Amino acid sequence: MKFTHLNNAGEAYMVDVTAKTPTVREATAVGRVTASQAVMQALRDGTVPKGDVLAVARIAGISAAKRVPELLPLAHTIGVHGASVDLSLEEDHVAISATVRTADRTGVEMEALTAVTVAALAIIDMVKGVDRSAAIEECKIVAKSGGRSGDWKREE
């Protein structure tokens, strides 16, 4: 197996995508934050002391998708042309889904994953005073489209 971010000497480098043609690309990632029943009820009732947790998490995730090159040293700076973060209150967790789109030379999988994980971190930050046991789980890419490798979907 050859890793694209390692040169022949095994040293990390940033892959040169200059010659690649920009194409429409999309990636979707999911994750979840598990929390106590008390926190889940407070989220449903809108009574978490720090405020509107889901609104903050949504904006945090979208903002994070645009900052990936600042966080991951080998990530390319690309135009994030669309980003959505959806959150839903399930019985014992907050489900998070993020879809990121671009028309650029490289994919947006890391942007989608970053959106999900930062949205999850925002939830943890806002509920930690009520439930220190809240946890981030199952962050993963579930679909991508566009680019040289084409479309892919995770089979569960």
Backbone angles phi, psi at 113, to 5 degrees: -60, -40
User: What's the burial of 82, exposed, middle or buried (CB within 10 Å: 0-12/13-18/19+)?
Assistant: middle
131 is catalytic: no
Distance between CA atoms of residues 48 and 74, nearest Å: 38
Where are any strands of DSSP class E within 39-127?
Answer: 82-89, 93-104
Judge contact between 42 and 134, C-beta under 8 A: no
Provide the 3-class DSSP secondary structure of residue 23. strand
Catalytic residue among 52, 125, 131, 151: 125
Q: What is the dihedral of CA 54, 146, 10, 1, to 10 degrees?
A: 110
Residues labelled as active-site residues? 125
